């Protein structure tokens, strides 16, 4: 998705959720639109502080959590790197393979939820996420070269 489209999509989600669209919130969307990978709250704060020196870390973090709850951002917890965010992929349903070394993310369309699940207690699923953590091909090659 083009950078401008992702910014518009994120701004639209904010607007539909009753947020006033400020310059700071638009800048937040631009930061994620320009990033190919995941950003920690500190990464986002550092970029926001360049443009808005008075912004607090707490404000940035709270906005990231709210944007995640709205569906504008996806959040992942990396074992070593902690909680990180990226712009949501809302164009179609898919899942992710995430490299634990370089954090590269690959999308795949296979959804295990499309198969019959034997869930206890007549459980009704309303949403789901599926991430697979491993080591990408490039990192495997680098590790093999080091051995």
Question: Is 99 labeled as ligand-binding?
Answer: yes
Question: Is 136 labeled as ligand-binding?
Answer: yes
At 111 the pLDDT is: 78
At 92 the pLDDT is: 66
Measure the CA–CA gap between 10 and 88, rounded to whole angstroms.
9
**Domains of the chain by residue range:** 3-87, 95-146
What is the CATH number that goes with domain 95-146?
3.30.1490.190
Strand order in the sheet with 131-134: 105-108, 95-99, 131-134
- Spans of the chain, pLDDT less than 50: 1
At 59 the pLDDT is: 94
Instruction: Give the three-class secondary structure for 111.
Output: coil
CATH topology assigned to domain 3-87: Arc Repressor Mutant, subunit A (1.10.10)
At 64 the pLDDT is: 95
At 91 the pLDDT is: 63
Instruction: Give the three-class secondary structure for 9.
Output: helix
Residues 6+ apart with CB under 8 A from 33: 3, 4, 6, 7, 10, 87
Question: Is 92 labeled as ligand-binding?
Answer: no
Eight-class DSSP state of 92: S
How do residues 49-73 score in pLDDT, each as one tens digit? 999 999 999 999 999 999 999 888 8
The overall pTM is greater than 0.85: no
Is the CB of residue 86 less than 8 Å from the CB of residue 35?
yes
Measure the CA–CA gap between 104 and 23, rounded to whole angstroms.
30
CA distances from 131 to 8, 16, 39, 98, 108 (A): 26, 28, 17, 7, 10
Question: Is 89 labeled as ligand-binding?
Answer: no
């Amino acid at each position: 998705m083009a950078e401008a489209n992702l910014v518009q999509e994120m701004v639209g989600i904010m607007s539909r959720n009753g947020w006033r669209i400020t310059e700071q919130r638009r800048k937040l969307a631009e930061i994620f639109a320009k990033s190919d990978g995941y950003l920690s709250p500190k990464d986002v704060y550092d970029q926001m502080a360049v443009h808005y020196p008075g912004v607090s870390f707490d404000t940035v973090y709270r906005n990231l959590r709210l944007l995640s709850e709205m569906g504008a951002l996806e959040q992942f917890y990396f074992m070593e790197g902690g909680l990180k965010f990226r712009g949501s992929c809302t164009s179609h349903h898919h899942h992710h393979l995430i490299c634990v070394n370089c954090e590269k993310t690959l999308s795949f369309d296979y959804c295990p939820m499309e198969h019959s699940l034997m869930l206890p207690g007549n459980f009704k699923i309303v949403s789901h996420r599926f991430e697979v953590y491993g080591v990408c091909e490039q990192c495997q090659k680098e590790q093999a070269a080091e051995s």
